[in-house]
Amino acid sequence: MSDDRHHFEVVSSQQRFAGAVFDVRTDAVRMPDGSVADRDVIRHPGAVAILALDEAGNVVMVRQYRHAVGHELLELPAGLLDVDGEPALTGARRELFEEAGLAAAEWAVLLDMYNSSGMSDEAIRVYLARQLTEVTDASFAPEHEEISMTVERHPLDALVRMALAGELTNATAVAGVLAAQSALAGGWRGLRPADAPWPARPDRVGPAR
């Protein structure tokens, strides 16, 4: 997606912070009226999330501690695009295994989104994964917050009610379950293939390895 109605020239840019996951910079941006304003930008590698739907209509969810908000959240399995050159679909398959111990035979793009476009370029692709099977790998060991992560299955319509009641608050999970409910009502027609173009992260589109 693009909007060429205005060209916002970056007059100067200064890096403020370099972290393990994201960087922060301040851009001086020329506005349409000629004025210049500072805009702080969080540079993020992007992420993938998976709405994994089983044959009974349940969505696979994970409950994970999130330090920034100080408590556990119910979320979709998800992860950063932090492996150089790894296609997004490969990352999604890896995260579904690592967080939920599952593989899926059928994949499609459910939605693409910017989580917080007012301050960050973080882009996330949410996949729909179906035809699930359990998989194990004794060599994989979770670490950090994932050690205490739990896996749950909830009916899709129950998750929609939770979102509307303010009980499901993770942005990606809310968007994913509402999109899935809409797509299900339409018979899953119109979903894009798993390797569909992704303008926000064009370098991450390609066949899964």
Catalytic center residues: 146
Of 1-5, 51-55, 116-120, the one with minimum mean pLDDT is: 1-5
Whether residues 158 and 86 fall in one domain: yes
pTM over 0.75: yes
Write out pLDDT tens, residues 158-185. Answer: 999 999 999 999 999 999 999 999 999 9
Whether residues 148 and 167 fall in one domain: yes
Whether residues 53 and 21 fall in one domain: no
One-letter amino acid at 32 equals P
CB 24 within 8 A of CB 16: yes
CA gyration radius, the chain:
19
Whether residues 117 and 172 fall in one domain: yes
Write out pLDDT tens, residues 10-57. Answer: 889 898 888 777 788 898 999 888 899 999 888 878 899 999 999 999
What CATH number should be reported for the domain holding residue 119?
3.90.79.10
